[in-house]
Amino acid sequence: MTKELIYSGKAKDLYTTEDDDVILSVYKDQATAFNGVKKEQIAGKGVLNNKISSFIFEKLNAAGVKTHFIKKVSETEQLNQKVTIIPLEVVLRNYTAGSFSKRFGVAEGIALPEPIVEFYYKNDDLDDPFINDEHVKFLDIANDAQIAYLKEETRRINALLVDWFQQIGLKLIDFKLEFGFDKDGNIILADEFSPDNCRLWDAQGHHMDKDVFRRGLGELTDVYEVVWQKLQALK
């Protein structure tokens, strides 16, 4: 069977495999920001994101989180369960930063009393607008039980990630998750987890994530390599 391109995204290309229930995800060297307005090719980024995401997903699988991750098969490729993506970006915030700080006019880095979960409608043409539970139901994206599950599972994942990153001296500021329905209709974690879709600060408050690219703070791959090396202490 010749692999066929299913989807070409900003950070990954997805291909068919011999198994109809399995896809091949190929990580790109492309970096984008501001919904694709800023775009560059950065050599080595795909390799690092594949390493980091594979490592995190292996730990999440081992901790009992249901994910689409099967295994890493090359420097830039991994096998994933095929899912129907739920068109929501599920964002969890532990500290104020980014669009949250702009929206409410508050400084970055303020610890939130409780983590805040937000939904964004996954639609590039509409610039991924911020939406609430009622909007999610109106758009027929998810029902009450599914919305509750997405929030509960995101908070559970957050507790694991905060602990792991604390162990290696990094503060998990916020992150974005995507979920999908597997072939049996179960909601499982999909997409990736890398410095592309989270904010990580070190003890000195230095950005260890894609804000380095967004804000022109340095070399993206240098920062991602540091994150990767730190993660080795969790093996």
Q: What is the mean pLDDT of the chain?
A: 95
Longest dimension (CA), the chain: 54
CA-to-CA distance for 27 and 57, rounded, in angstroms? 15
At 82, list the tokens.
């095929």
pLDDT band at 27 (very low <50, low <70, confident <90, very high): very high
pLDDT tens-digit profile of 90-143?
Answer: 999 999 999 999 999 999 999 999 999 999 999 989 999 999 999 999 999 999
| Prediction pTM value | 0.95
pLDDT in tens, 160-180: 999 999 999 999 999 999 999
A 10 A CB-CB count for 95 gives 18
Six-digit token string for 62: 């081992």
C-beta atoms surrounding 74 within 10 Å: 11
Query: What whole-number distance in Å separates Cα of residue 160 and Cα of residue 176?
Result: 15
DSSP 152-218: HHHHHHHHHHHHHHHHTT-EEEEEEEEEEE-TTS-EEEES--STTSEEEE-TT--B-STHHHHTT-S
pLDDT at 154: 98
Give pLDDT, residue 129.
Answer: 96
- The answer on pLDDT for 32 being more than 90 is no
Distance CA(177)–CA(218), nearest Å, equals: 25
pLDDT at 30: 86
Q: Which pLDDT does position 33 carry in this prediction?
A: 76
